[in-house]
Every structure is written in structure tokens, then in C-alpha cells.
Amino acid sequence: MDTLLNRFSTKVNSVITGFDRIVFKGIVRPIVHSDGMESFLRARKVLNKDFKSYVAAQSQAIVSAAEQTAKEQSGHGIVYIPSLNERKEALAKKRQEETGIKEGLIGVWSCVESCHTFKSKFDKTKTYPSLSFEHSKCKHLYYYFDDPVYGSMSVRLQTWAPYEIQVALNGREWLKRSLDAASCGYMAKGNKFLHIDDYGLAQGLLDEQAGTDFGRVLNGFLPTVFPVMPEVLGKGLSYYWTVWQSEIAKDYIFNDSKTLAALMDDFQLHAMITGNGERIMKYFGSPTRADGRPFKDKDPEILSRTKNWYDGMRVRHWNGSNSVKLYNEHNVLRFEMTMNDPSRFKIYRNTENQYEGDPKKFLQMRKSVLDMEDRANVSKTIIDRFTENMAGLKDQTRLGAMLDFVETPLS
């Protein structure tokens, strides 16, 4: 039972839970290390000393193909961005508003950013040039789409070997397109739904997202964003997809924004007072001693902050690089779990080398998209623990002039 919903049932229309922001990363595993890249070059009869000139030619082929795609599908060529501080998403949104693009590729932008690559230098031990890992800079391409299935999304392609890819989707944008396809009305602002005609349908569509074959979906973008991939990588090489960051959001959609705003002082105060180290660790399912303190070998980094957030308030608790937060925007009270480090959680899963039908083992969660459903379930459980605690708030006390920034590390 959702105790928080039960308590405010007369003030809340409904609740929906599912993915918000999801950022995937794709790598070609055989060539992300120097030995693998050297083998890749040997197969193409390219000497290690010629790595830079060879990859430069491949990079030019990638950019030329992207230029053609951009012109054919969006009517504009690649636009270079000289400043890293320029918000590419804002540029894409402006382009879409100006051109009236409703669906498909909005445009392609490029900029020079840091990257992981290799450098060829003479190895005295081997007595010939070899490749070594290097942090460098290279051109990256940013593709922005209004996809007919997934809504607003982007793809970032590193044009220099080993050609890493980043794909950003949003579960709420995806839900909009799914509701459109089902002819279900809704009112939304950004990634918040202020009203949905059929909340049951919406929740069912969100639940289906977690069971998606994300490997297939992500590979489906490659012919558009990396059309020369067969020529650059050859046969037998493919992308291995991981989740760099995911957000699961639970939205309590109130009758109106004023009703919710009147409760936010109480939510903020209760979240900060009860958000001690012991409770935050319990949110995340971290084991504690009988006295509530962490075990000596765990040494968790616990942090809490609260601040005003646009037209509302926000409270956020961190356990390492993972976090939970609550905030209000319009008539939506959102509880959100951001997962950056899935290795802190254990799940029953198969290993890559297991045979089909072998029993699952209790192992650390991976970044792999293969653990996507478990990632969603663990995130939802953490949010539920948070909302269950928030249901116990005392609404007779006002926080008033709370500090804009409060930091409470575990002592």
C-alpha cells in the first residue's frame, strides 16, 4: 500500500512511476584497450606508427557521412559550436521551434571535447612503436531527434577511435509518444504530466519500458548516426551497451499546484529532520549495525542538501554517487532515484559465460543494459522506502526561513 497516497488521497489525482532520464554508453569492447586496437590495425595492415593518420581519415569519413545525413534529413549541415558552455539541447529546441519540425532529425552539431583514445610512441622494451592509452580531445557529433517512438532524444558520437557513443532518452518523453499512439489525452510541461486521461494506461506503458530490449533499440540508431560503421569497424565488431546514469521518478499528481505548495514546508522539514545517516542508508538498503551505525569496512559517504528549486523546494540525499530526492513543480510532487553506481546493489542474475538454464547467482548489479529491469525495480524500492517515511510528516510545523543550503555529512 502507498501510505503517502492514502494519506493525501483527497488531494492527489493519481501516481505514476517509471523512467525519466536514461543515459546509455556504447563501446566496441575489442578496441577500447591498446592491445585490441593494435590487433585491429594489424588486421587492416596498418602500422602502429600510422595510427593517427589512419584514424584521421576514418574520422573525416564519419564527419562527411554525418554532413550528408544532416542535410538530407534536417535540411541543414553540421553546425560547429566553438564554446563548451553552449547548451546544445537549447540550440536544438530553438531550431525545432524555428523550422516547425514535428518528427525526425532536428539537426547535427559538432564540438571539440575531451575523449579517451590512443597515442603511438616508440617502446624501448618492444623496440618498435606501440599504442598507449591517452586522454585527449577530438570532434564529437551531437544528433538531436524528435523520435516518433521515443520523443526528444540525442546521440553523441566520438569521431576518433575507439568511437564511443552516448545515447540520451527520457522515459517521460517516450510516454508522451506512447499516449499519442493510444489516443490518450494528457497535459504536460517538460517532463512532468499535470494530467492524464487514463492513468492506468500510462502506468502500464511506463512498466513496459523496463522490459524493452534496449540493445536492439540502441543498435537501431546506428545506421543514422554512424552510417559508415561497416566500413570503419568492419565485420564482427559491434557495440556493447551500458547505462551510465538512470533516473526513476514517482510523481504524485495533485489536484492543483497551490494545494501542493502549501505542504512543501512540511515535506522539506520532515525530510531533513528524519534524513539522518541511518535512515538514508536504509533507503538504499545498506546494512547497518544494531545501533544504526555503518559497518567499519563500508565507510559510506552520506550527504543531504535542501534548497529552493525554481518555483518549489528540493531535498536530496546521497549515498555515495547514488541519490534520492523530492521536489515540487507545478502540481507534481516528484520522488526521484538517480543511479550512477549499480555495483552497490546485488541481484539474482546470470553471468555472461553461463549456459541458458543455469541457476542465477546473487551478484553485484552491472551497468549492462541486461540488468535494466532489475535496475528499475531496485530504484522503485528505494523510492518507496523514501515515500513511506515521508508519509509520517507532521503538518502542524512550518519550516519558514530554512537555509538555502544545508549540508549534513555522516559523522
User: Residue 113: which residues within 8 A CB-CB, separation 6 or more?
Assistant: 84, 137, 138, 140
Give dist(CA 249, CA 325) in Å, integer: 9
pLDDT score, position 406:
44
Nearest CA to 334 out of 247, 388, 253, 271 is that of: 253
pLDDT score, position 392:
86
Give dist(CA 140, CA 78) in Å, integer: 11
Cell numbers linked to 85: 558552455
pTM assigned to the model: 0.91
Query: For the chain, what are the domain ranges?
Result: 3-19+246-390, 20-245
pLDDT score, position 292:
55
How many residues does the structure list for the chain?
A: 411
pLDDT score, position 362:
93
CB 281 within 8 A of CB 357: no
CA torsion sign for 76, 79, 85, 88 is: positive
**Backbone conformation region of residue 310, classed left if phi is above 0, alpha if psi is from -120 to 50, else beta:** left
Nearest CA to 240 out of 221, 215, 222 is that of: 215
Give dist(CA 6, CA 8) in Å, integer: 6
CB 12 within 8 A of CB 255: yes
Cell numbers linked to 279: 535512515
pLDDT score, position 296:
56
Strands across the sheet containing 104-123: 79-80, 104-123, 128-147, 151-158, 165-170, 12-27, 240-254, 332-339, 322-329, 312-319, 302-309
Give dist(CA 324, CA 316) in Å, integer: 6
Please name the residue that has the C-alpha cell 552510417.
227
CB 29 within 8 A of CB 236: no
Neighbour count for residue 46 (Cβ, 10 Å): 15
Please name the residue that has the C-alpha cell 503538518.
395
pLDDT in tens, the chain (411 residues): 899 999 999 999 999 999 999 999 999 999 999 999 999 999 999 999 999 999 999 999 999 999 999 999 999 999 999 988 889 999 999 999 999 999 999 999 999 999 999 999 998 888 999 999 999 999 999 999 999 999 999 999 999 999 999 999 999 999 999 999 999 999 999 999 999 999 999 999 999 999 999 999 999 999 999 999 999 999 999 999 999 999 999 999 999 999 999 999 899 888 888 888 788 888 998 766 665 565 555 666 788 888 876 677 889 999 999 999 999 999 999 999 999 999 999 999 988 888 878 899 999 999 999 999 999 999 999 999 999 999 987 654 444 434 443 444 544
Q: What is the DSSP string of 123-152?
A: ETTTTEEEEEEEEEEEEEEEEEEEETTTEE
pLDDT score, position 397:
41
Q: What is the DSSP letter of 236?
A: T
pLDDT score, position 33:
96
pLDDT score, position 288:
62
